[in-house]
């Protein structure tokens, strides 16, 4: 315990310099803006920032990029809640209950709970990084292909709980999502599958799918229906901030979400998006009122927001301690470190403790700064909602198209976004939820990759999933969840 406090004190000496605090504020503010813009996300923000960090002190450079990263995680949910357009994949789940609250005239409490949950989840993630970086890294090393495959199967089973309709419809949507995820080049053989045009050789873009199913479909639905009058939005502090009862109702979801997010963040290859989906599924399963999810339920915002920010913090565990990036953002972080002459891995904590613990301590400063930035801005975001929706739709559509195009510079992606918007509109009309489809799309390729790798490494022996302790435990959890779903 004494060693932990001495390491944290060493880190605070680095993080609390005026230069680093200034860069945390700049990076956090920039990340929040980037997170709100459809299709950009933290990877874009970090990539753009890398050239600016050349010549910086390595600790300052990494602290700045980290601030952009979790700033984008904070900001991603703003557009999800206000206009049903997720800024990034990890913010998709915030659409499920955030936007219904906005339509009810309660965007203020939704945004406030989002900021508070993000802060608490982030801080819990930081505490786990400080206290358990090495043990969690060792646990992550025990996850091989069979364990990842069974973890994804558990996630796909949990995906049927995300939808608000029947589980059979949700299962159908999961399978459609998995099929869409298989479009493109086979990662093992290199053969193209279901590729109708060269532009789909790299597969369907998650950005196109998410923006179409949620953003464009909502615009089509609103334009083609006699929507009720826009709810009156109050900007008084009493109406903007959540009540004490609402705060008490989200304590459990925030803590559970942080636990789920911290676990998935520490596993390379999973990330904040999967963590947010899983935390939503867990929260819906343990809730006494699961029918409220998807209708504007605060726990449906608190759990995924806490989860994705906790995952953002713990994702640095394999990155810094093992040199293994968990996702594209972490790969960029490693690239930036190498360009600055720092080699991440097991020796980093020993050879450069000032840098390692300075970055970890900056998470505490950064999360506090982001809370102080985002809470006062809630009133401004709520004021923007006084603009009639029909006047906002052309602007939102342009933002979606620009964001999608900027992701891969592909006009086909923009066309697919509009097509997915029509499909999403039809799905909702026939009471099919798009959320399980999206989770199937995310998890399907991950399952295929790890399942095939497990088969190759074990000579096609299926018993490998039942003979390894962790994969067998995950398989048992999947069977129990399936049985509970069938007989409950």
pLDDT of residue 2: 66
Q: What is the pLDDT of residue 53?
A: 74
Cα separation, 79 vs 38, whole angstroms: 8
The pLDDT of residue 39:
62
Alpha carbon 1 to chain centroid distance? 32
pLDDT in tens, 180-236: 888 887 777 778 887 767 777 788 888 788 888 877 887 888 777 655 555 555 556
| Torsion angles phi and psi, residue 161, rounded to 5 | -90, -15
What's residue 402's pLDDT? 83
43 neighbors 53 (Cβ within 8 angstroms) = no
CA–CA dist 370, 117 (Å, integer): 12
Q: Please tell me the distance from the alpha carbon of residue 161 to that of residue 143, in angstroms, as a whole number.
A: 25
Regions of the chain with pLDDT less than 50: none
Tens digits of residue pLDDT in 419-441: 999 998 898 888 887 878 887 88
Distance (Å, whole) CA 449 – CA 461: 16
Is 225 exposed, middle or buried (CB count within 10 Å of its CB: 0-12, 13-18, 19+)? exposed
Give dist(CA 455, CA 468) in Å, integer. 14
pLDDT value at position 306?
92
DSSP classification of residue 160: T
Burial-class residue 230 by CB neighbours within 10 Å (0-12, 13-18, 19+): middle
* Model pLDDT, residue 90: 77
- Residue corresponding to tokens 């209708």: 295
439 φ, ψ to 5°?
-65, -40
Report the pLDDT value the prediction gives residue 212, as an integer from 0 to 100. Answer: 86
In this prediction, residue 318 carries a pLDDT of 77
């Amino acid at each position: 315990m004494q060693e932990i406090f001495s390491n944290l004190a060493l880190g605070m000496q680095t993080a609390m310099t005026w230069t680093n605090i200034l860069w945390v504020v700049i990076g956090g503010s920039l990340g929040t803006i980037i997170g709100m813009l459809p299709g950009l996300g933290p990877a874009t923000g970090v990539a753009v920032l890398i050239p600016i960090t050349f010549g910086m002190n390595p600790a300052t450079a990494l602290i700045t990029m980290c601030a952009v990263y979790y700033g984008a995680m904070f900001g991603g949910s703003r557009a999800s809640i206000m206009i049903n357009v997720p800024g990034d994949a990890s913010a998709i789940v915030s659409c499920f209950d955030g936007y219904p609250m906005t339509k009810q005239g309660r965007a203020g409490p939704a945004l406030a709970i989002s900021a508070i949950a993000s802060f608490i989840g982030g801080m819990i993630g930081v505490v786990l990084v400080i206290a358990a970086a090495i043990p969690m890294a060792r646990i992550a090393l025990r996850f091989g292909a069979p364990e990842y495959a069974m973890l994804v199967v558990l996630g796909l089973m949990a995906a049927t709980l995300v939808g608000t309709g029947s589980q059979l419809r949700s299962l159908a949507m999961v399978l459609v999502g998995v099929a869409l995820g298989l479009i493109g080049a086979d990662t093992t053989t290199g053969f193209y599958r279901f590729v109708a045009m060269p532009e789909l050789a790299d597969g369907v873009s998650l950005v196109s799918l998410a923006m179409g199913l949620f953003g464009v479909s909502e615009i089509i639905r609103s334009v083609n229906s006699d929507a009720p009058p826009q709810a009156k939005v109050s900007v008084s502090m009493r109406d903007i901030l959540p009540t004490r009862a609402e705060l008490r109702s989200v304590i459990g979801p925030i803590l559970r979400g942080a636990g789920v997010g911290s676990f998935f963040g520490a596993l390379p290859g999973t990330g904040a998006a999967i963590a947010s989906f899983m935390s939503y599924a867990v929260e819906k399963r343990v809730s006494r009122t699961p029918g409220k999810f998807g209708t504007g339920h605060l726990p449906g915002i608190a759990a995924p927001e806490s989860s994705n920010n906790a995952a953002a913090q713990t994702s640095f565990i394999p990155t810094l301690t093992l040199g293994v990036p968990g996702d594209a953002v972490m790969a960029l972080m490693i690239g930036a470190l190498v360009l600055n002459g720092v080699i991440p891995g097991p020796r980093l904590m020993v050879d450069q403790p000032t840098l390692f613990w300075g970055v970890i301590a900056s998470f505490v400063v950064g999360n506090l700064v982001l809370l102080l930035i985002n809470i006062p801005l809630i009133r401004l975001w709520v004021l923007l909602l006084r603009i009639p929706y029909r006047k906002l739709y052309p602007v939102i559509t342009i933002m979606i198209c620009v964001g999608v195009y900027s992701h891969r510079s592909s006009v086909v992606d923009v066309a697919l976004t509009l097509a997915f918007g029509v499909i999403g509109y039809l799905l909702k009309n026939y009471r099919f939820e798009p959320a399980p489809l999206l989770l199937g799309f995310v998890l399907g390729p991950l399952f295929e990759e790890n399942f095939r790798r497990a088969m190759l490494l074990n000579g096609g022996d299926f018993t490998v999933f039942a003979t390894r302790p962790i994969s067998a435990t995950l398989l048992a959890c999947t069977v129990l969840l399936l049985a509970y779903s069938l007989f409950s």
